[in-house]
Amino acid sequence: MFLKEMGSLLPKEVIESAESRGMLSLTPPQEKSVKKGLLSGSNIVVAAPTASGKTFIAEMAMLRTVLWDRRKALYIAPMRALVSEKFAEAKKDYPYIKTAMSIGELDSLDQWLSAYDVIFISTEKLDSLIRHGASWLDSVGCIIVDELHMLGEYGRGPTLEVLITRLRKSVPNAQIIGLSATVGNAEELAKWLGAELVSSDFRPVPLEKGVAVNGTINFGDREERMEGSAKLPEMRIVQDTLHKKKQALLFYSTKRNTEAGAERLSEEVQKHLSPEEKVALEEASSGILSALSRPTSQCEKLAGFVKRGVAFHHAGLANAQRAIVEDYFRRGIIKAVCSTTTLGLGVNMPAHTVVVRDTTRYSEGAGSVRIGVNEVTQLFGRAGRPKYDKYGRALLLARNAEEAKDLFHRYILADLEPIYSQLGVMPVLRTHVLSFIATDFLSMEDSITAFLMQSFYGHQRGSEHELRRIVKGILAELEEWEFIRQGSGRYEATRLGRRVSELYIDPVSAKWIIDTLPKVRDEVSGLFMITNTAEMRPYSKATEEAEEKFVRYGSLLEGQDAYDSYLYDPIKPFSTALMLNEWIGEVGEQALMVKYRETPGSIFTKTNNADWLLYSSTELARIVKVNPRMLLELRVRMRYGIKKELLDLVRLEQVGRVRARMMFNSGIKTVEDLRKDGAKAKVERLFGKEVSARILSQLGSVQ
């Protein structure tokens, strides 16, 4: 079906935008979607491979809703990076549409979104907006749910499931489009959503799947000898890929493995770089080193590999460093990237050859476990770049012929796995039940149970008796903790319970914080209060120092039964508290990395989470009449990573951790000191005239 023939079905702006990007006709999944009612308001579930055109299916539905029906469209995705990517694409392709993105602050209403037509939003952020009573949701006419298979993930799945169920009840006339590349029970999902199923194996770039062993790739119907001479399997594949003048993306199970892999490949890859590429990689390397105020050993390691045309990519990198790696790889300058599976989820960074080196990973409590067929298929989907490659290669690695045969049957010939709801677990449901009551959405045990029966969990299990038992237990718990109260058979949230729901923290975490607030006596106990929560996971490495010092703070745990179910080892959250205490004591990132086995990225994540939990603790302290002064102070110190003595100086823009310390050590200890004779000369000597001028220009507005 040619796009130019669809003038009666689609706004001309959509057709013109698609044609300007080289899309003249619909792909098979797109055509099937149109025939099944995409453009007449039908709910659709699309199960099709990566790069098969799912995003344009979403665009057609969204833009038709906005331009012709004059209603809003929501694009929901589970990962912030994916939300950002889709938002950027929409801004470029449809600059005349009022498009917004919302992925940040969870304790805000973001009423400004009411002025926008297409809103790209993360799952948690939309859930939070609903808790705050976003009134503009009534005007939504189209809801896109990307990565629909995430319903089966323990961490993100329940929130997504409750969100979809709630939207279907709150905005019953809105069209729902679910998109997924990896789901084995798409028909069941479509039935739950009252949707038409569009299933397709179409791929614009054909994908060849195989297992590499002893220098040969077994594709099932044929074998292919690889170029090169390396004995290490992934090295041999990269040699073969470079011989084809292509790029490779290699997936590993751990951060450490990605770094080791990049080191092994770097010597070989640098031999294939042109002089122009080496110059460009020098610039990329410099950008990586300057991403932090003081480069760590990890920064230096990554920068060194990037000079040689290789990079590693994992959650431990700073955001700016990840962006550089992704950009230079997309431009074809970085030739190989060794990544954890984070890069396989959402971020559009395809390569000619994809290698899944590790098919097992370590799981706490279970040891080494095999990764699933769906995940391998998701990673394989990164192989083959439209417009650049005639085909993509997706490879597994085997040590011998017997293992190669096993991997081929286990992953390449196997069907996709069905996904199962993760909603029916008490700790997961607790926060959502409180939200139902706090937002006046549901107020009775029967209505809560009936609502949950409409969820995917209810659709799959169909056990109202079991759901009622779970709901009854949750309501009793929330009532005991004084987050809700009952009257005439109905429940309502207390002031405390409503605020807990708005703050978007687990009621168990809130209960622990409320009970611990009166016992906080110093920085460490305050930090342990926030780190001993589910929101702070994963914790830092448990150190010997933490075991020794815990004796002084273990009494905080006495009588606190609410969180025992998830507190596996109190030393780990306590060790995390000590790490954060060193951060606000101005210990450098490099020292923290070594002592606590952290990375720049994980330190950033933990300080960010700590900032949020300190804010939440401050809000709860006000309600339960505990003085929040220490928490307010800790929050500022956490944001900047400073000792108490620098609090006054960091009020100034352009002054952070490093500059504040330099000024303090030179005798400028407060903002008032900057007004003294000779201060200007000191600041200019420290930072130069330009930065000095920006700092001193603020003195008139800072009291």
What mean pLDDT comes out for the span 74-98? 93
pLDDT attached to residue 431: 92
351: left (phi over 0), alpha (psi -120 to 50) or beta: beta
Lowest mean pLDDT among 99-108, 309-318, 511-520: 99-108
Instruction: Render pLDDT for 229-260 as a digit per residue (tens, 0 to 9).
Output: 999 999 999 999 999 999 999 999 999 999 99
Q: Quote the CA–CA distance of 68 and 213 in Å, as a whole number.
A: 55
Domains for the chain: give ranges and CATH numbers.
Answer: 3-199 (3.40.50.300), 207-412 (3.40.50.300), 426-501 (1.10.10.10), 505-641 (1.10.3380.20), 646-696 (1.10.150)
Instruction: Render pLDDT for 655-667 as a digit per residue (tens, 0 to 9).
Output: 999 999 999 999 9
Verify cis geometry, omega within 30 degrees of 0, for the bond prior to 538: yes
Query: 173: exposed, middle or buried (C-beta count within 10 Å: 0-12, 13-18, 19+)?
Result: exposed
pLDDT attached to residue 345: 63
pLDDT attached to residue 703: 67
What percent of the chain stands above pLDDT 90? Answer: 81
Residue 482: other Cβ atoms inside 10 A: 14
pLDDT attached to residue 568: 59
Q: Tell me the pLDDT band of 554, cut-offs 50, 70 and 90.
A: confident
What percent of the chain stands above pLDDT 70? Answer: 97
H helices of 505-599, in order, are 507-516, 523-531, 544-553, 571-583, 589-596
Q: Quote the CA–CA distance of 671 and 648 in Å, as a whole number.
A: 6
Complete DSSP assignment for 554-568: GGGGTT--TTTTT-S
pLDDT attached to residue 566: 45
Query: Tokens 């629909």 identify what position?
Result: 148
Average pLDDT, the chain: 92
pLDDT attached to residue 564: 47
Tell me which residue of 255, 240, 111 sits closest to 593, measured CA to CA. Answer: 255
Lowest mean pLDDT among 129-138, 321-330, 533-542, 555-564: 555-564
pLDDT attached to residue 365: 64
Instruction: Render pLDDT for 265-324 as a digit per residue (tens, 0 to 9).
Output: 999 999 999 999 999 999 999 999 999 888 899 999 999 999 999 999 998 888 899 999
DSSP collapsed to 3 states, 183-202: CCCHHHHHHHCCCEEEECCC
Instruction: Render pLDDT for 449-499 as a digit per residue (tens, 0 to 9).
Output: 999 999 999 999 888 898 899 999 999 999 999 999 998 879 999 999 999
| Whether residue 565 has pLDDT greater than 80 | no
